Amino acid sequence: MCGIYLDESLILTDLEVTDKEELLKMMGTNLMEKGLVKESFIKAIIEREKNYATGLPTKSVSVAIPHTDPEHVNKKAISLAILKKEVHFGIMGEKNAETPVKLVFMLAIDKKRSHVTFLQKLMEIFQNEEELNYLLSEENKTNIKNRLIHDLRVQKGEE
């Protein structure tokens, strides 16, 4: 899916946070400082996560895909956080169940339903243990960006 912004500055590696709210604020602030989302995005994404959990257990490592409504977004983008230690997210579609997450794909989507194809591509990554382990172990942000651009078929961020 073309048109989703991704560059090295949106890939946050070796993050140490105490909980998901701190993580969501950190990632949202990074997107806001780059002008990709509005100030309202941070509060909206935290509130949405409380009501609609985005954690997904996989065979190797749990992931989360926090996102919120398009009115908080200036430009479609994706940010990836790779955590040093797991942070618990609620499991998508389950009440009162959590999963320890190490990879967080924050989506800034500017139109309703424009993310369906993109989510399908993300699901392919989530089902591929080799891809998830690569993302966890790779230290070079350019390599991570290039792999995601290839896997997700997104447009490169401006360099």
- Please, what is the Cα angle at 39 between 126 and 136, to 5 degrees? 25
Q: Domain for residue 158, yes or no? A: no
> Judging by DSSP bridges, how do beta strands 62-64 and 55-56 pair with one another?
antiparallel
Contacts of 59 by beta carbon, 8 Å cutoff, 6+ apart: 129
Q: Is residue 2 part of a domain?
A: no
* 130 part of a folded domain: yes
Residues 6+ apart with CB under 8 A from 110: 70, 73, 74, 75, 76
Which pLDDT band, with edges at 50, 70 and 90, does 1 fall under? very low
CATH number at residue 125: 3.40.930.10
Higher pLDDT, 117 or 58: 58
Burial grade of 138 (CB within 10 A; 0-12, 13-18, 19 or more): middle
Domain of residue 130, residue span: 8-152
pLDDT at 158: 41
CA 97/CA 78 separation, integer angstroms: 26
- Asked whether residue 34 is domain-assigned, the answer is yes
Q: What is the mean pLDDT of residues 111-120?
A: 72
**Is residue 159 situated within a structural domain?**
no
**Rounded to an integer, what distance in angstroms lies between the CA atom of residue 90 and that of residue 52?**
8
What pTM, to 2 d.p., does this model score?
0.92
In a domain, residue 1? The reply is: no
Q: Residue 115: which pLDDT band, with cuts at 50, 70 and 90?
A: low
Integer Cα distance of 49 and 158 in angstroms: 29
129 is a domain residue: yes
Tell me the per-residue pLDDT of 75-85, one tens digit each, with 9 for 90 and over.
999 999 999 99
Percent of the chain with pLDDT over 70: 92
**Domain assignment present for 71:** yes
How far apart CA 112 and CA 121 sit, in angstroms, is 17
**How many distinct structural domains can be found in the chain?**
1
Instruction: Tell me the average pLDDT of the chain.
Output: 91
